[in-house]
Each structure stands twice: as C-alpha cells, then as structure tokens.
C-alpha cells in the first residue's frame, strides 16, 4: 500500500523597467507600487499520481490519451511545463491548455521554454482537458506533465 502526494510551489515577482533618457541603460526592479513578490507552496494527497513527457501537435490531444495519465478518471492537480522545443530551428513555442467539456476554451496559454502552469481543477475528467500547439506544426513543444487525481 502506498500513499501518493504532490508537493508544489510557485512565485511571481512583478517587475518594473526604468528607462532613463539614455535608453541603452535600462534598469529592472521589483515593481515600485507593489514592492514584493508573492509565493506559496503546499502538499496534497492524491489517489493516483502520473507523469508523462509529451510533444504537442497542432491537433488537440486529451490528457486521457497520454500514457499513464489515461489510467486516471479525474484531475484535481495539473502541472505542465514546456521543457524544450521539438524543432531546434524554431524560434519559439506556444501551447494552449483547453477545457472542452462544454465547448472549447483556453484555460491557459504557455509561451516559451520554461513557462509553466499549476492548476487545481475540481475533478475535471481527463477527456475534458486538451493540449495543442498554437503555431504551425513545426512549433511543437516538449512538455513535462504531472497529474494528481482519481484512478479510472
């Protein structure tokens, strides 16, 4: 018998760029009206935890179609990170994370290597979350995906 947990954290720092009359010398500081980053972390227990590395396509693909994630029924934790470009010649990558239960609308758009999201959906079925590249098929991204939720 095993228990499964996901420990996660995030930080966001608002940045202000100061541009003096000599525009070649820009300075970046923590935003002067906000004066602080925000951060948080937590650890949650899940019935099932799965990991999958996936290369996006221009055609939306449901989480249920991906490796061990397909063995899950619902998602209550989802982290997706762009770890690389699938095509080394391409200048950038963008992907959409879509919620498709009642139509199709983006939950989030990731842009560029290193970008990520952490979502805590309320038991969304793995069929109802899709990923796809938003550029041409040559702009595909390699993503790490961690999911926590219930077993199928």
Cα separation, 45 vs 145, in Å, equals: 17
For residues 57 and 133, the answer to whether their CB atoms sit within 8 Å is yes
Instruction: Inform me whether the pLDDT recorded for 76 exceeds 90.
Output: yes
Domain boundaries, the chain: 1-43, 47-151
In tens, the pLDDT along 116-145 reads 999 998 888 888 888 888 765 557 888 999
CATH topology assigned to domain 47-151: Jelly Rolls (2.60.120)
In tens, the pLDDT along 1-43 reads 788 999 999 999 999 988 888 777 888 888 889 989 999 999 9
Backbone angles phi, psi at 3, to 5 degrees: -105, 145
For residues 145 and 96, the model is more confident at 145
Instruction: State the pLDDT at residue 80.
Output: 92
Q: How far apart are the first and last CA of the chain?
A: 18
């Amino acid at each position: 018998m095993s228990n499964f947990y996901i420990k996660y954290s995030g930080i966001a720092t608002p940045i202000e760029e100061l541009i003096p009359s000599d525009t070649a010398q820009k300075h970046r500081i923590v935003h002067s009206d906000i004066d602080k980053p925000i951060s948080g972390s937590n650890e949650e227990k899940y019935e099932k935890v799965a990991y999958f590395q996936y290369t996006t396509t221009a055609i939306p693909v449901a989480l249920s179609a991906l490796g061990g994630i397909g063995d899950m029924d619902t998602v209550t934790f989802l982290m997706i990170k762009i770890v690389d470009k699938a095509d080394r010649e391409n200048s950038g990558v963008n992907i959409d994370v879509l919620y498709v239960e009642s139509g199709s609308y983006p939950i989030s758009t990731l842009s560029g290597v290193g970008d990520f999201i952490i979502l805590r959906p309320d038991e969304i079925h793995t069929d109802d979350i899709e990923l796809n590249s938003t550029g041409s098929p040559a702009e595909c991204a390699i993503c790490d995906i961690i999911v926590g939720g219930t077993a199928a």
